Chain A
Amino acid sequence: MRSDQPPRIAKWLLLHFGSSPNNQSILGDLDERYREAHSHLWYWRQTVYALTAGLWSQVRTQKWLALRAIALGWICWFLMSPLIEGYVFLFLKDETFSRYNPRNWWTLGGSVIQYYDWWFVLIAPFAVSLLGGWLVARTHRRSQRAMVLALFASRCAIAIPVICFLLIGMFVERQYFPGFIKLVIGNAVTLPGILLGGGLFSGSPEAHSSGRRTIAS
């Protein structure tokens, strides 16, 4: 039986990640049309179109701003990653500290993942991506949501082909397995980190709406 309420996840996605200046009107129109007997699948399809069309429209009209946001995010990544990873790695290698940590946390595909690997795989990428997202959001307040999403999309564009390449390689050579898992976990924390740092999960979604004024006739 068809529910009166539109799919909650789709609605949540559009509410938080819709970058069109008319996002609230889009949500209202979709609610109204959904109640006119459209299906869950229709709502999902419309949500995907609205997310992609909204982001594309914003990036297209503000190309240089989007390029600057992406460059800023990646520069932050390249500068901060070695810094954070390097210092904490030295700290983790310290014998006093290591006494309180299990040497081998997890054995995977014959490869032992050391405790300090978790720093590289999980914590450092998350911290750096959080910082990158935050920096982009702070420096692009006018189109905060679209610019953070542009950085997110650029990260996906790099990560997805690498993951696919390693996935194929894994079937040929088992030795790729730990690397693949690390990469997947690393990206699983990096990508939400960008969005979290960019403030897309928290606060009032309306606050992210563009400041474009409507022109009263």
Chain B
Amino acid sequence: MTKRDQLGIFELMVILVLVRLGDNAYGVPICEELEKRTGREAAVGSVYAALERLEEKGFVTSELGEPTSERGGRAKKYFRVTARGLKEVRETQRSLVKLWQRLPELQGERV
């Protein structure tokens, strides 16, 4: 796997939110879920930039929904994690867990 295909921290957060949201994953719920889980304001532009990168890597697919009036007649864009994306998330999780193990500085603390 090339370095370009690896997941960045923010990309990993976005892809985890996509897995959590399932079929209802478009910009607004993605940002709301990110804000709820991280406690920080999510920038819609940054979320889309991450989604574009994920789509380019083949970890995510997208599909346009119907335009709605509350969005000024603009369509929602739904995102879904691909099998390749899920595999990459699992690999990243394994690597992170290995890195986390046997670190006395981080033991005994609950975030």
Contact = CB atoms under 8 A, between A and B. Distances in A.
20 contacts: A25-B26, A25-B74, A25-B77, A26-B44, A28-B75, A29-B31, A29-B71, A29-B76, A30-B44, A46-B45, A49-B43, A50-B48, A53-B43, A53-B45, A54-B49, A61-B56, A214-B62, A214-B77, A215-B61, A217-B63
A139 interface: no
A28 B62 contact: no
Interface residues of A, number: 29
A24 interface: yes
Contacts of A46: 43-45
Contacts of B31: 29, 33
Interface of B: 26-28, 31, 43-46, 48-49, 51-53, 55-56, 61-64, 68, 70-72, 74-77, 80
Contacts of A28: 27, 68, 71-72, 74-76
B58 to A, nearest CB: 9
B52 A57 contact: yes
Contact of B45 (A24, A49, A217): A49
Contacts of A10: none
A216 B52 CA distance: 15
A6 B106 CA distance: 45
